[in-house]
Amino acid sequence: MRHTPETVERFLESSLESVDSAEELATGMAERAGFEDEDLMKIGMAVRESMVNAVVHGNRYNANKRVRLSVSHTPDRFIIRISDEGEGFDLASLPDPLAPENLLRTSGRGIFLIRSFMDEFDIRRSEAGGMDVTLVKYLVSK
Amino acid sequence: MSVKLSSRQVGDVTVLDVAGRITLGEGSSAMRDALRDLVTKGQKKILLNLGEVSYIDSSGIGELVSGFTTVTNSGGQLRLLNLTKRVKDLLQITKLYTVFDVHEDEAAAIRAFA
């Protein structure tokens, strides 16, 4: 049985522990919203990769910077927003991880995986200069 | 549990059994250290058993690639054994599945090193 829509917002430290807790929070809410195993894994991994980007590449583990996490859902959409306080980056500058010359790179697959796992993905610079990421997974009635 | 690693020798092949989560931080660095340690000791035939890996993220995938490159550049061979569906799916969507030599049977994987 699905629970009433809920919205949760957290301001998290720039640490790997925050990555774990964000993943746990999002997958817990996704499960209550009605998602099952395969989608829970995809949502969890998309949140993990987005949080890693915010903590490691955005805030660079800076103890004075926070990551804002918001998780909510409507009857048909599960929405996660993750914002960092870093300097931002240009999405177009990221190399294609599927290009033959990039296959053996040891990094650069995070955003590709997020796009693969979510129904909608939006990333843009915030007014403050960091990155705002929005992840959406559609809730399908059964 | 993050990740648990243990190695065993089968003939001249070292089997590295990996269990748990290979994610950014302790999990991926532990696997990197274990593989580099084997290469430093001159081990040329390494079979990475991922049958008990419950979760892997992009950092973990990066460590698999890094391990593959490290072993190959030292003149050795790295093969993968017992991929879970989750890990196999990830390697397929990242187009890495064909980069690695993947096996489902340990004895066959050991023979493939000969």
pTM for this prediction: 0.92
Phi/psi at A140 (nearest 5 deg)? -105, 125
- Picking from B51, B66, B57, B50, the residue whose alpha carbon sits closest to that of residue B26 is B57
Tens digits of pLDDT across chain A (142 residues): 555 667 999 999 999 999 999 999 999 999 999 999 999 999 999 999 999 999 999 999 999 999 999 999 999 999 999 999 999 988 889 999 999 999 999 999 999 999 999 999 999 999 888 999 999 999 986 5
Q: Is B8 helix (H, G, I), strand (E, B) or coil?
A: strand
What percentage of residues in chain B have a pLDDT greater than 90? Answer: 93
Q: Which residues of A touch B (CB under 8 A)?
A: 16, 19, 41, 45, 48-49, 52, 56, 97-98, 103-107, 109-110, 112-113, 116
CA dist B12 and A21 (Å) reads 42
Q: Which residues of B touch A (CB under 8 A)?
A: 23-25, 57-59, 61-63, 65-66, 68-69, 86, 90, 93-96, 99
Of B23, B58, B66, the CB nearest to A113: B58
Q: H/E element holding B3?
A: strand B3-10
Which chain B positions have a beta carbon within 8 Å of A110's beta carbon? 58
The pLDDT value given to residue A3: 58
B9 falls within a domain: yes
The pLDDT value given to residue B28: 86
B39 falls within a domain: yes
Indicate which CATH number applies to the domain containing B84: 3.30.750.24
Spell out the residues 6+ positions from residue A81 whose beta carbon is closer than 8 angstroms to its own. A68, A69, A70, A71, A132, A133, A134, A135
Residue in B with minimal Cα distance to A37: B86
Work out the number of other CB atoms within 10 angstroms of the CB of residue A74.
Answer: 11
B99 falls within a domain: yes
Contact A108, A94 (CB under 8 A): yes
- Domain of residue B92 covers 3-109
Domain at A7-138: CATH architecture: 2-Layer Sandwich (3.30)
Task: Write down the domain spans for chain A.
Answer: 7-138
The total number of structural domains in chain B stands at 1
**Nearest chain B Cα distance for residue A118, angstroms:** 14
Q: H/E element holding A138?
A: strand A131-138
Work out the number of other CB atoms within 10 angstroms of the CB of residue B57.
Answer: 26
Cα angle vertex A49, ends B54, A114, to 5°? Answer: 95
Which chain A positions have a beta carbon within 8 Å of B58's beta carbon? 49, 52, 107, 109-110, 113
- Picking from A13, A127, A136, the residue whose alpha carbon sits closest to that of residue A67 is A13
B114 falls within a domain: no
Q: To the nearest 10°, report the CA torsion of B88, B89, B94, B98.
A: 40
B15 falls within a domain: yes
Of A45, A49, A104, the CB nearest to B65: A104
B50 falls within a domain: yes
B87 falls within a domain: yes
Which chain B positions have a beta carbon within 8 Å of A48's beta carbon? 23, 57
Phi/psi at A95 (nearest 5 deg)? -70, 150
Look at strands B13-22 and B3-10 and give their pairing: antiparallel
Bridge partners for B102 per DSSP:
B80
Of A16, A98, A103, the CB nearest to B24: A16
The pLDDT value given to residue A29: 96
